[in-house]
Structure 1
Amino acid sequence: MRCSFRLVSSMNPRLDRNVRNGVVQTVNMESLARMEPGAMSTLFREYSGHPIPVSAFVTAIDKNVLNGRTLTLSTVWSQNETVGGAKLRYSQQWVLIQNNSKKTDIDILPPSPGSLLHGELLSSYSPSGDLKAVVRETSSHCAGNLYLEVWSKYGIQKVLDLTALNKHGRVYEDGQFGVLSWSVCESRVLYVAERKRLPAESSAPVSSPSASGSSPYTAGKDTNVFTEDWGEGLTSKSIPVLCVADVAKGTVTVLQGVPSHVSPGQALWAHDGNRVFFVGWWHEPFRLGLRFCSNRRSALFSLDLKGNCECLSGDTHSVSSPRLSPDGRFLVYLQGQVFGPHNQCLTMQQYDLEKRNISVLVDLVKRPKKGEFAGLYEALPPHCWAADSQRVVFSSARRNWRDLFVVDRNTRRITRLSEPEIHGSWKLLTIQNDLMVVHCSHLNEVPHLMVAFLPLAGLKTLLSWELLNEGRLGIIVDVLDISPSPQEDNPEYSGLDFGALLVTPNHLPSGTKVPLVVFVHGGPHSQFYTEWNVTSASLARLGFAVLMVNYRGSTGFGQDSILSLTGNVGSQDVKDVQRAVLTALADQTACEKVVSLDPNKVVVMGGSHGGFLACHLIGQYPDFYKACAIRNPVINAATLLGTSDIVDWRYSCVGLQYTYDQLPTPEALTTMLQKSPIIHASQIKAPVLLMLGGKDRRVSPHQGLELYRSLKSRGTPVRLLWFDQDGHSLDHVNTQADCFLNIVLWFQQHLYLH
């Protein structure tokens, strides 16, 4: 192990404080023991209330102002309103001035005050930036009415009452299918909505949009017929259709010709305005959950307005994020494998619309060298092309970081543009007129925006980043590189290492021993980035150290690392987490420590597969962990088999192949059971706090109940929190605050911090 990076941030008086009865107080271990629950809740709500940028759009004004070109940066932010327990979205604008003599220099004027977005499901600027389309849900006339509004600098120009037009159901606003795309001529808007249901179709097979009324079962109006949806987070989405709104005529048309076996989404216009491109996901023989799953069979299609449809890509892969170049000639998209790990290293494919051929622009990375590009793992932003149509800018995981990259279409060369050691993890929001807008944050730095102009190819030295806003917290971050012991090495994928992030408070007296919270991510094929994490920052501010482990199988370490975990869950990932914990505890001298970790006060927490690992840890190392807190954990893969929207994962994670017609065998169920933490339940000594969502479609809450009953029968301390209206993520604002407070009090109680 080596300490590869460490950052001690300065105090921000506004952020670095706690409030009790309106009095600001400094936190130390003694005050933590005495702190009232209200003060802890106040701290978490303050930290969780920091805004997060979610989208950006750049408009150029071609006139000289103060010897430069003026650009308007329009952004949308998400913020938790913690008093009312609501999630808000607001807009904010900056005016940027590009120096005429030195194109990379930017003058930034103070931003406008934020403006709350009421009822906006989707919004999109036209290519020129002169028009803005908004899909709005309003209750001013009738609850749940949908409107398509078109705005200009002169105010609202057009309103289409989508509910009254009655061409389709609810408009899709999610990030999986949903889109709002302007045609180049700025006269039409493309979007995705739920197909309109006819009364006679209530009993027709939902997977066959073209089903006719000739079936003997379509004459009735039975509302009890089961309707498939797309799983966790997409429960209201079943049969999407592509819709075109003609702004001038005030009409809406549902496009015909989409193959009946696919569900369309992520659509965009071709430059000629006579056809659209879209991704089609196979929904036959039945739908599998799509959220957080990049391994679903799908393809890239072209559909003209006359209903002629063509598959442009192969139909044996998973496809997403089609993005058209500014000159309209090239289309890039991401491609991955079907089934297997739900998140994998992806390739970026390039489709030449003139030559009608496909080539690989960014290839799969099996085993990256440290410091090098580690592969593609996330969706492309809506605008990712440079103005020259020769380069594509994107962000992706690299070990414990998220970095910014550019790939040259001609040379296939990939160049890193970010500076992670300075600004943590980087996520591209947009690049327009070669102005890149990036969301940056660190574990000790709240989200902020950076902007810079993309220099000409090969001139990275001219890159000059400008900061739009900032804020630091008083915690220390160590980025650790960890190698398994020889006994823990995977012989099929030998030599792999992994990473971890250690967050410790720096407001305590030097030499203080602090309890360690081991924080395990889910997936399992996801990761912790060096980016803003409300839970870790809040725990550190309350006097805990937090170890966030990116075990082998996490994204950002290459495809070999991801594949190495297949068939080895419950063993390799468990050993990696324990190795990281022992390494952190032993590493008391590698870097200068403000505080030290108390090896007798170690607790563990995690959700989903992170809960699976946490339960394995307290079962396999029963005397090591003093308490455990888990959210919607996988407890028994065998009993989860028929209750999850991603049933294929239960096979692939234990090393078994999956097909749609798969039936469980005694051997498969035995394998799933043997790799599940329920087999260690009788050894668990640590008190367990369970937090379950009553509407979880991914991991049935009965998984947690299975553990709850097992522990209760043996007299092991256990507490169960049930959130009836929450799903897998438990992401309601008040639920998050409630869970955090209960976790802290649970750890306090069983670490005897009182």
Structure 2
Amino acid sequence: MDSELITGVFAELCGLPAPVSAHVSSEELPELPELRVYKVTAEWSQSDLVRGSRLRFSQQWTLIADSNDPRSIRTVLPPGPCAAVSGELLSELSPIQGLRAVVREMGSHQLLEIWDCHGLRKCLNLSALKMHGRVYDDALFGCLSWSECENKLLYVAEKSKNSAGDSEEPACRKDQSVYREDWGEALSGKSVPVICVVDLQSGAARVLQGVPADVSPGQALWAPGSQSVFFVGWYHEPFRLGLKFCSNRRSALFKLDLSGHCECLSGDNVSVSCPRLSPDGSVLIYLQGKVFGPHNQCLCVQQLDLKSRKTSTLVDVVNRPQPGDFAGVYEALPSRCWSADAQRVVFSSSCRNWKDLFMVDRRSKKVTSLSDTPRVPAESYFPHPPPLPPPPHHLHQEHHREVEDSSESSKAFGSWKLVTVQRDLMVVCCSSPNTPPTLRVGFLLSEGEAVSWRTLQPPVVSFDFQWTVLDVTPPPEEDNSLYSGLDFGAVLVKPSLLHETGTPLVVFIHGGPHSQFPAEWNYTTAGLVELGFAVLMVNYRGSTGFGQDSILSLIGQIGSQDVKDVQWAVLTALQSNKTLDPERVAVIGGSHGGFLSCHLLGQYPDFYRACAARNPVINAATLLGTSDIVDWRYTSAGFQFSYDNIPTAEVLAAMLEKSPITHAAKIKAPVLLMLGGKDRRVSPHQGLELYKVLKSRGSPVRYDRALIYHWS
């Protein structure tokens, strides 16, 4: 296959934009009192291969509704031109005046800008104030919150190493060579966060005092009255563990007065995240999970009545969902998820092989789906509706098309993700394996009323692929005795133009292992299918969206249950789809997906013809001392973790037994290893172990090393 063709296909697919945030505003027109105008401003992310970076741009739509029926959209006007967003780390619109706060990077400085309808109103050089270190812009700690009076802003930054009352050892301030812990993968250099408030009238900034010394604060927001703040505090004693993708870290919800008084509002030995205040300021909801165990899990939604100070469960953990039922909460809540009447909460979550949109009513605690995609039985194919002719400049014109908005196209969406809900107008990102992300809007209506969804702008292209979801039941001999009766799933994507000799199959395995491949847009999958391959994305037992029992079933069973699940899914796909070529099967995956890919090569050496593994776990025993999530290394092998654990011969032997390195001598297929030199979770030395084993036996292997390797 021509390398330029492959490069061109993936370059085109990587350049397709995806929405990352949205904001809704509304106004009435004095000259047209019968109309109400809504403005939806969305921010998108797009890869630019020329720059070798990701770009952000904004786009705005105008929606016109009747004043007598403001929840019925009459017209969606075409959007204006896209505007590039340069150097912004954080941004937030104030709810009343519509002021826009921006934290911007300018060289070595970080600026806080306030914009209004006339231009730049105020600019503060936060770095020059020397009150703190760099502002946090990540999704775990970072925040930017307006006070009710809109004269103050709240954010989180790294504590200044020279500030008074530093909780670190005095030597840390005197000797820069002393080791300073941070929060691991993707959070390097983020060690001691502090909550900061800036007064926009005086231009003064200060670090709030009173945060307990043994916690790291983040996700802060103003409490009603703006004289105190809520925040999540992650306990960092006796030492920090990696936090990214880990919803099992001991943490708590706190309330901190501006005077410095701090109190804990949640339980002690739990994990909490995503505090969200209701529009009327009466209720605070947050996610809660267990500490340690699986690092991603089914979470419950807690609600705290701020008047009575009583906490109750709004959405509980789902252990074993029935087919077609709500399967639980597995991901973060968007920053705005409340209905205007403060009685309903909207969120998106994994549900088997899909990602769906849900609403929970606080009065009945009933969870309902809001999407209009039928969750059909497995083995039902989803080709795209008849498309328009393609423009001449696209590659492989016979494979992808421009599409128009239609009721039929909406039925093909496999993924619904809530971006925001404001003034009861929901903005969601929809996609499917053959349709790149697009924005849709719809008003939240009364219980029992179906949402009328409108597409703001159809995707530029759609692809003429077929895709289906598969429900897979493991054979009786592979049933888990502790969690009997579990099944799992997969998503199969195929080109419409089939090969006469059979379509080669690429098995794509997600990492985690407690994550999911929903039926959504994935440019790696799309690129492979565009080039003529079929792709099977497997959600083995332990994946999210199948209940907490499925997640727990994988504990102590890695390297066996998950490996056999993937192989059984592949055999199921081959048996039910005779257009696939069983003699041409390859496997790809990263992290735990790389772990499974290499296991499959060694356990089924005559079945797979090639493998590409990104930062694979090869030897769990040697990974124990280098990973930022050492707790998972114990848990995955079936052992309890505590901070004072010291590896024993029994633990190391069990980890080695469950690792691909024990089967490496049997590998026959060519292997491509892609290793990130700065990966904190899976050291590149893991891949090197396999590289050396294969080289010593004359097996075909190639090792690509990058200091920073990006994978989406």
TM-score range, shorter chain: over 0.9
Partner of 2:149: 185
What is the rounded CA distance, in whole Å, between the counterparts of 1:713 and 1:123 in structure 2? 53
CA 1:617–1:211 in structure 2 vs 1: closer, same or farther (change >3 Å)?
closer
Whether the 8 Å CA contact 1:442–1:530 is kept in 2: the answer is yes
Whether the 8 Å CA contact 1:514–1:545 is kept in 2: the answer is yes
Give the deviation of 1:461 after TM superposition.
2.7
Q: Are 1:553 and 2:553 an aligned pair?
A: no
Partner of 2:470: 480
What is the rounded CA distance, in whole Å, between the counterparts of 1:531 and 1:183 in structure 2? 37
Give the deviation of 1:463 after TM superposition.
3.8
Give the deviation of 1:128 after TM superposition.
1.9
Partner of 1:378: 331
Whether the 8 Å CA contact 1:105–1:464 is kept in 2: the answer is no
Secondary structure (helix, strand or coil) at the match of 1:614 reads helix
Output the aligned Cα RMSD: 1.5
What is the rounded CA distance, in whole Å, between the counterparts of 1:646 and 1:374 in structure 2? 27
Give the deviation of 1:611 after TM superposition.
0.5
Give the deviation of 1:223 after TM superposition.
1.5
After TM superposition, the structure 1 = structure 2 runs for residues 178-577 of structure 1, keeping only pairs within 5 Å, are 178-198=142-162, 209-210=166-167, 217=171, 221-421=174-374, 422=411, 423-456=413-446, 458-461=447-450, 463-470=452-459, 471-508=461-498, 511-577=500-566
Q: Are 1:632 and 2:615 an aligned pair?
A: yes
What is the rounded CA distance, in whole Å, between the counterparts of 2:237 and 2:657 in structure 1? 32
What is the rounded CA distance, in whole Å, between the counterparts of 1:400 and 1:159 in structure 2? 47
Whether the 8 Å CA contact 1:104–1:464 is kept in 2: the answer is no
Give the deviation of 1:478 after TM superposition.
1.2
TM-score computed with the length of structure 2 as normaliser: 0.93
Partner of 1:16: none
After the TM superposition, which of the residue ranges 56-65 and 128-137 deviates more from structure 2?
56-65
Whether the 8 Å CA contact 1:608–1:632 is kept in 2: the answer is yes
What is the rounded CA distance, in whole Å, between the counterparts of 2:189 and 2:458 in structure 1? 37
Partner of 2:589: 606
What is the rounded CA distance, in whole Å, between the counterparts of 1:251 and 1:496 in structure 2? 57
Secondary structure (helix, strand or coil) at the match of 2:134 reads strand
Secondary structure (helix, strand or coil) at the match of 2:334 reads coil
Partner of 1:87: 54
Give the deviation of 1:479 after TM superposition.
0.6
Partner of 2:20: 54
What is the rounded CA distance, in whole Å, between the counterparts of 1:210 and 1:528 in structure 2? 42
What is the rounded CA distance, in whole Å, between the counterparts of 1:291 and 1:725 in structure 2? 17
Q: Deviations over 1:615-673 (max 9, x none)?
A: 11011001000111100000000000010000011001111100011110100001000
Q: Are 1:118 and 2:86 an aligned pair?
A: yes
CA 1:61–1:104 in structure 2 vs 1: closer, same or farther (change >3 Å)?
closer
Partner of 1:718: 701
What is the rounded CA distance, in whole Å, between the counterparts of 2:252 and 2:194 in structure 1? 16
Give the deviation of 1:66 after TM superposition.
7.5
CA 1:198–1:379 in structure 2 vs 1: closer, same or farther (change >3 Å)?
same
Whether the 8 Å CA contact 2:542–2:550 is kept in 1: the answer is yes
Whether the 8 Å CA contact 1:446–1:532 is kept in 2: the answer is yes
Give the deviation of 1:75 after TM superposition.
1.0
Whether the 8 Å CA contact 2:501–2:581 is kept in 1: the answer is no
2:626 to 623, 643, 655: 643
Runs of 4 or more off by more than 6 Å in structure 1?
A: none
1:675 to 658, 664, 680: 658
What is the rounded CA distance, in whole Å, between the counterparts of 2:553 and 2:592 in structure 1? 16
After the TM superposition, which of the residue ranges 100-109 and 476-485 deviates more from structure 2?
100-109
What is the rounded CA distance, in whole Å, between the counterparts of 1:568 and 1:577 in structure 2? 14
Partner of 2:45: 78
- Runs of 5+ consecutive residues of structure 2 not aligned to the other structure: 375-410
Secondary structure (helix, strand or coil) at the match of 1:524 reads coil
Q: Are 1:128 and 2:96 an aligned pair?
A: yes
Partner of 2:407: none
Secondary structure (helix, strand or coil) at the match of 2:365 reads coil
Give the deviation of 1:466 after TM superposition.
3.9
Partner of 2:398: none
Q: What is the identity percentage for the equivalent residue pairs of Structure 1 and Structure 2?
A: 60
Secondary structure (helix, strand or coil) at the match of 1:537 reads helix
Whether the 8 Å CA contact 1:187–1:247 is kept in 2: the answer is yes
What is the rounded CA distance, in whole Å, between the counterparts of 1:77 and 1:646 in structure 2? 32
**Partner AA of 2:20 in structure 1:** V
CA 1:381–1:129 in structure 2 vs 1: closer, same or farther (change >3 Å)?
farther
**Partner AA of 1:494 in structure 2:** S
Give the deviation of 1:462 after TM superposition.
5.1
CA 1:459–1:100 in structure 2 vs 1: closer, same or farther (change >3 Å)?
farther
Secondary structure (helix, strand or coil) at the match of 1:310 reads strand
CA 1:320–1:631 in structure 2 vs 1: closer, same or farther (change >3 Å)?
same
Give the deviation of 1:211 after TM superposition.
5.2
Secondary structure (helix, strand or coil) at the match of 1:168 reads coil
What is the rounded CA distance, in whole Å, between the counterparts of 2:265 and 2:28 in structure 1? 37
TM-score computed with the length of structure 1 as normaliser: 0.87
CA 1:475–1:512 in structure 2 vs 1: closer, same or farther (change >3 Å)?
farther
What is the rounded CA distance, in whole Å, between the counterparts of 1:579 and 1:480 in structure 2? 12
- Runs of 5+ consecutive residues of structure 1 not aligned to the other structure: 1-32, 202-207, 590-595, 737-754
Secondary structure (helix, strand or coil) at the match of 2:508 reads strand
Whether the 8 Å CA contact 2:61–2:456 is kept in 1: the answer is no
Identify the structure with bigger relative contact order (alpha carbons < 8 Å, sequence gap 6+).
1
After the TM superposition, which of the residue ranges 54-63 and 250-259 deviates more from structure 2?
54-63
**Partner AA of 1:530 in structure 2:** A
What is the rounded CA distance, in whole Å, between the counterparts of 1:524 and 1:146 in structure 2? 37
Partner of 1:701: 684
What is the rounded CA distance, in whole Å, between the counterparts of 1:504 and 1:625 in structure 2? 19
Secondary structure (helix, strand or coil) at the match of 1:613 reads helix
Secondary structure (helix, strand or coil) at the match of 1:461 reads coil
Q: Deviations over 1:136-159 (max 9, x none)?
A: 111xxxx31111000111111111
Secondary structure (helix, strand or coil) at the match of 1:455 reads coil
